[in-house]
Amino acid sequence: MRRVDELREQTVWKSDPHTQVKHLVYRHYLQCWMGKILQTFPEATIVDAFAGPGVYTDGPPGSPIVVAKTFLEHTAYRRFNKLNLVCLEERTDRVEELRRQFAKLSPSPQLNISVQAPGVFAEQQPRLSTLAHRGRAETPVLWLIDPFDLKSAPFSLIRRCLADPRDEVLFTLFTNELHRFCQRENFDKTMTPYFGGTHWQSAVPERRGRREAFATAYQQGLKDQELFTGGFGIKVSNQSARYHLVLATHSEAGLKCWAPVTWKLDHYSGQGASAETAGALSLFDEASVVDRLDVALRAYAGTAQRWETLSSQAARLNHMDKHLRQVLDKLAAQGLAFRVDPVRARTAWPEGCTVRFYAPEDVADEAS
């Protein structure tokens, strides 16, 4: 049976390597998100809006079970406050299978699982939002948006999921379809609502890396709405990305969980993982991939910057504090960065320090 027929006709379908990588990203992100959010807020909610049946024919769990198990098996589980897991799926047979899969898990008083009656996400979103926030706009809500096609999740719907201050979205962006079909007649009628504007057109002329250019354009649309965003390409072997996972969040703190995930799965660039490289050790020296951060820090020449500013800058460029320290070491060795405060410290770049930057001309020997 062709895969597209399998997805359409069967309740449960076979997993593939892309799904495994996607779930790996979910697991790593959730590990961090749960660790931070569930020890800070009295309760939080994850909405799996395109939940699926919760299992694949060849055995691996589906995303709702991945979420529940990440919670139940978390090392900080005993310290966690309450998590609500709300699942929506449009097909009755898949909803029934999902309920069967959840019934196999041991119940936990801290985990409130709610499998909704079959429904279409765009119609159910306002009701799910009320349910997820539990009467408080400040309740953190993470929306997992993982449809089969472009039409089920237009930008306007994603935007609605981000209406409240602690809403976050982890979204599957179909960059391969966008790349393949963007020049088809009338496809703009799908593209423009999907992006929430015509800015997707900037990616069309790209001859190499058009999939990445679509991800960048989509993320630019989020940034234009004052949101923070991270992206990650899901691919197999050395092929191009089939789709991207895109995170949208109101807070820079959200990115602090995202960067480590992407670097864990892709030691080379933090931009995208193949099924083979996920979990494998790096063949490359990480020092070679922090160039964007190096350029950004050099632009501070002539100024003093606080650690918080530098750490934010690093997070926006999808780098972790360890990368920041690595680049600062390199700049310091060239005389281009100095810690000016505190004077004494146990490590070179402690949190809270202030760093002054210089340009190469400032360092050049005047006599030469």
Ligand X SMILES: C[S@@+](CC[C@H](N)C(=O)[O-])C[C@H]1O[C@@H](n2cnc3c(N)ncnc32)[C@H](O)[C@@H]1O
Site residues (CB under 6 A) for ligand X?
50-52, 62-63, 88-91, 94, 120-121, 146-148, 152
Amino acid present at 227: L
Report CA Rg, the chain. Answer: 22
Least distance to ligand X, CB of residue 305, Å:
41
Q: Between 128 and 162, whose beta carbon lies closer to ligand X?
A: 128
- Phi, psi (degrees; rounded to nearest 5) at 166: -110, 25
Per-residue HEC secondary structure of 9-77 comes to HCCCCCCCHHHHHHHHHHHHHHHHHHHHHCCCCCEEEEEECCCCCCECCCCCECHHHHHHHHHHCCCCH
Q: Between 121 and 307, whose beta carbon lies closer to ligand X?
A: 121
Q: Between 121 and 214, whose beta carbon lies closer to ligand X?
A: 121
Q: Between 88 and 315, whose beta carbon lies closer to ligand X?
A: 88
Sign of CA dihedral 11, 12, 17, 19: positive
End-to-end CA gap in the chain: 74
Report the distance separating Cα 133 and Cα 84, nearest Å: 10
Least distance to ligand X, CB of residue 273, Å:
16
Least distance to ligand X, CB of residue 244, Å:
14
Strand order in the sheet with 304-306: 304-306, 354-357, 337-341
Least distance to ligand X, CB of residue 185, Å:
25
Q: Between 88 and 327, whose beta carbon lies closer to ligand X?
A: 88
Least distance to ligand X, CB of residue 20, Å:
10
Q: Between 21 and 353, whose beta carbon lies closer to ligand X?
A: 21
Least distance to ligand X, CB of residue 349, Å:
39
129: CB partners within 8 A, 6+ apart = 141, 160, 161, 163, 164
Contact 132, 140 (CB under 8 A): no
